[in-house]
Structure 1
Amino acid sequence: MQLILTYIFLIIYTITIVGIILVVITDNRNPLKTLPWIVVLVLAPGVGLVFYFFFGQNLSKQRIISRRTRKRITTQLEESDRDGTRRIPNDQRTLARLLYNTSHAVPLYGSRITPYTEGRTKMEALLAEIARARHHIHLQYYILSDDTTGRRLCDALIAKAREGVEVRILYDDVGSRSVKKRFFARMRRAGIEVRPFLHVKFPRFTSKVNYRNHRKIAVIDGRVGFIGGMNIADRYVEGPGWGVWRDTHFRIEGRGVAGLQVSFLSDWSATTKQHVSGEAYFPPTEHFTNNILQIVPGSPLGKWRTLLQAYSLAVSRARRRIWIQTPYYLPPDVLNTALQVAALAGIDVRLMLPARSDSKAIDYASHSYLDDMVKAGVKILFYRPGFLHSKLLIVDDTLTVIGSANMDFRSFEHNFEVCGFVYDADFTARMAAIFTDDAAQCTPLAPGKWFKRPRSHKFAESFLRLCSPLM
């Protein structure tokens, strides 16, 4: 009897493994992604099955966020803003059209955008806007911590909820996994609506643990919004403990806030099945500047990888410069190649990375990409005062990309992200000045010394590069 059960188990197990392999093949993914999964499933089926269950499933055909819902919300912007498309610089119109076609991102005219380069100032600005709220407060963060910074925010939100202000919060269930339930329960008792995005439950949603919501959005009364790289936690205000935390976040006033509102309400609808809309959430706003802002969500859903396509197009069309700040450089091949080609063509390509990040493994994996970048002529800058967590792309004189996306596989292919594409010479010049100030605190990579680094480092880099898509 035991022998029969063993055979039955082996048959079922074999059918499961073969079935998964067939699913991987018929997904028609990039062969460079398909073959490793097949090899792991064949050579180490037990481990491969577990890893595939958690990290390998393809969400692109699922409809977690309804396109119809997003388009319905976005229609309000399209009907009320006709200036955006007309005023886009000629050299960026192809990019803007791509973003509209792939994510229905409406170009919005006349926003005022204020950058913050350290966490304390950003946090005080956010709390000040919350104190002025009269109708609603919408917050979405990957990390919402139960620490001094998180509790200050919690107290401010509870005070506004008691005044009758609508408060809605989305947090990522994995990013905020260390937070105790009592932290959120206290807000719920005050009337605040708090929901986790893609709540990880065994077994139903365990397969989505690899697909996280990395967006950082705040919208107050539909008139002021925040977007960028800073979460709600002490380390974003006080630093990582071994230096400064250099990050970039942005306060938006004007039409661009409506783009953030669309992103939040789309996620809120997907999470809660509640459809929030109306003029109170999209109030009339004045024009503060002549810039154009497209708020663009990126996600693992659907056929197109919008942010990866947009970054690749922007880089390939550059004529003078490409300046990048990112905490992690683990790029898909198409973007990595585009940057090398640009540098080989004589374009000023600069890549600013932290000299030390919050993960030694990611440092090694990131460094594995730098040899070819240096050989192509890319200028590598290592930020020394602390951890550079800023996400910034500057192309030529009229395009700046801001938001939550790192330049890595996870942000482009696995995470839910949000970025702002700003078409404006004045704003680009301001952000280029900030980049230049940061560069003064960097150590340029010296090729002669770099290529002589220890073999043990090179081996660690090559080994950890294999894990780049999962980091």
Structure 2
Amino acid sequence: MACHVLGVIAAIHAVINTRTSQGAVAWAVSLVAMPYFTLIPYLFLGRSKFAGYIDERRLEREILRSRSKPAEWDSGARSDAPESTPLVDASGVRGEIAPGPAAYLGNPTIRTLQRLSGMPFLRGNSVRVLVNGDATFAAILDAIAAAERYIVVQFFIVRADALGDMLKDALIRKAQAGVRVYFLYDSIGSFDLPHRYVSALRAGGVEAHPFATKRKFVNRFQINFRNHRKIVVVDGKRAFVGGHNVGVEYLGGNPRLSPWRDTHVEVRGPAVASIQFVFTEDWYWATQRLPELGPAPHSDENMHCMVLSSGPADKQETCSLFFVEAINAARERIWITSPYLIPDEAVFSALRLAVMRGVDVRILIPSRRDHHVVFAASKLFAYDLVQAGVRIFRYRPGFLHQKVVLVDDIAASIGSANLDNRSFRLNFEITVLTVDRAFAGEVEAMLNADFAHAFEIDTNDYRGAAFWRRMAMHVARLFSPIL
């Protein structure tokens, strides 16, 4: 009897606090009908916000942005005035857009994305694609070895394996040479990171801290909010963002998922200041101290970049709205790669409308699974999207983990955000958006190579499955608000 009473109380709490109606209904029904099975999961996963957490996080963000925002945001590197003429002239006739990367996307899109991110588009950058783990960690370790002033390292998952030890030893060497080293890891993603690993870093002079959202006792059981960002910054000159975490599986060390397909980028120029400011926000939350970081110099390039950070403390659902705006901006094509396919209704609708506009809409997802429930739910969402005219491809060789969006022949984004509800609303994410034809061409070539190793699915991917598998897909989709 007591369990059923607690179930009803928890159901009321879910209805009041859960962000989406689907999530509220799913939790309320299960808590009332099956409290013995759902009360404990709700304690860990149910609430979509922490008591006082969002207000506290927002307050700290406003303080940081007013006191220590990057000088680059107010300098000549800022490019918030798109190089364009009005789309409609004085006579009311639609005019031609003048050349220029920002103009291609159109004034409204540029303004929308800047307001959404709270960060400006900055020019004077260069961005390099790093395909797969060997290229990514070779570049990161090379940058760390060349560090002179400071190093910033932040990952969702850090493992104490061969790659993790290599990173640890490199950071300790630089710390002992007098370089300031800041190391931040997510307490949930790196739950199995042994204490000896962190102790060795601290003993070697590295400032190492976990990112956790447990300042209040009521939040102590929550595991919903996770810092999924992957950031490395060296001396304000080079920054690395993308899909890789620290573990040998990201180098292909897990035979079941090998070869691991992932993408990172190396950024140089003023956008580095935006990336390290995202780290500053997270570091201040974790330690209540500001890291000592420096400015980011211009590069010799003129690429336009914007950094978009998103998380559960945002006033808007930043990550979901970014995908919606990117899809709506597409005129010829929108190509998306993601390891998980759990779109919300807004993104799903934007994809369908893009198909109706005649846009080439493609989504590349894995053919191997790393999470059974997510994979099953993704299959059902893929079926719905195929029915709407979206082309869905499955990558054959190994597990696909990259998070890339390509819009037409001008804009590309690479970061940590997946095409799923967890990235949309529950995780802290970071994405680098570039507006540059040459770079978009590189991303297109990379994705074409990936599509060449993929196969396109049709409705038989769902219809041809056994009944019990189709039923499992529908059950798995019930959990989409927390997947």
Same fold (TM over 0.5): yes
Give a deviation string over 1:237-275, Cα, whole Å, max 9, x none.
134313310100011111111111100011001110002
The answer as to whether partners of 1:172 and 1:212 remain within 8 angstroms in 2 is yes
TM-aligned CA deviation for residue 52 of structure 1: 2.6
1:250 aligns with 2:255: no
> Where does the alignment leave 5 or more consecutive residues of structure 2 unmatched?
83-101
Q: For 1:400-415, what aligned pairs fall within 5 Å after superposition?
A: 400-415=412-427
Residues 461 and 58 of structure 1: CA distance in aligned 2, closer, same or farther (over 3 Å): closer
Give a deviation string over 1:112-158, Cα, whole Å, max 9, x none.
11111110121111111101101100000001110000001111110
> Where does the alignment leave 5 or more consecutive residues of structure 1 unmatched?
1-8
Distance 2:190 2:461 in 1: 40
Give a deviation string over 1:278-303, Cα, whole Å, max 9, x none.
xx5214x1233222111111101133
Task: Compute the TM-score of the two structures, normalised by the length of structure 1.
Answer: 0.91
Q: Supply the AA of the counterpart residue of 2:288.
A: K
Distance 1:403 1:92 in 2: 23
- Aligned-residue identity in percent: 31
Higher mean displacement: 389-398 or 36-45: 36-45
The answer as to whether partners of 1:169 and 1:195 remain within 8 angstroms in 2 is yes
- Partner residue in 1 for 2:210: 196
1:123 aligns with 2:117: no
Q: Supply the AA of the counterpart residue of 2:56.
A: R
Higher mean displacement: 93-102 or 354-363: 93-102
Q: For 1:217-366, what aligned pairs fall within 5 Å after superposition?
A: 217-242=231-256, 243-276=258-291, 281-283=294-296, 285-366=297-378
Distance 2:221 2:75 in 1: 40
- Partner residue in 1 for 2:39: 49
Q: Supply the AA of the counterpart residue of 2:44.
A: F
Distance 2:153 2:12 in 1: 41
- Is the partner of 1:59 in helix, strand or coil? coil
Residues 121 and 302 of structure 1: CA distance in aligned 2, closer, same or farther (over 3 Å): closer
- Is the partner of 1:95 in helix, strand or coil? helix
Distance 1:469 1:289 in 2: 41
1:208 aligns with 2:198: no
Distance 1:107 1:182 in 2: 41
Q: Supply the AA of the counterpart residue of 1:42.
A: V
- Is the partner of 2:363 in helix, strand or coil? strand
The answer as to whether partners of 1:405 and 1:411 remain within 8 angstroms in 2 is yes
1:67 aligns with 2:40: no
Q: Supply the AA of the counterpart residue of 2:314.
A: G
Give a deviation string over 1:337-377, Cα, whole Å, max 9, x none.
21122123321011111111212332211001122211222
Distance 1:145 1:449 in 2: 35
The answer as to whether partners of 1:357 and 1:388 remain within 8 angstroms in 2 is no
- Partner residue in 2 for 1:397: 409
The answer as to whether partners of 1:89 and 1:423 remain within 8 angstroms in 2 is no
Task: Compute the TM-score of the two structures, normalised by the length of structure 2.
Answer: 0.89
TM-aligned CA deviation for residue 454 of structure 1: 2.4
Higher mean displacement: 386-395 or 368-377: 368-377
Give a deviation string over 1:282-330, Cα, whole Å, max 9, x none.
14x1233222111111101133111111111221232110101111101
Distance 2:76 2:280 in 1: 19
The answer as to whether partners of 2:73 and 2:120 remain within 8 angstroms in 1 is yes
Residues 444 and 170 of structure 1: CA distance in aligned 2, closer, same or farther (over 3 Å): same
Distance 1:250 1:288 in 2: 17
1:79 aligns with 2:79: no
> How many residues are paired up?
458
Residues 303 and 236 of structure 1: CA distance in aligned 2, closer, same or farther (over 3 Å): same
Q: Supply the AA of the counterpart residue of 1:59.
A: K
TM-aligned CA deviation for residue 84 of structure 1: 1.9
Query: Once superposed, what is the RMSD of the aligned Cα atoms?
Result: 2.2
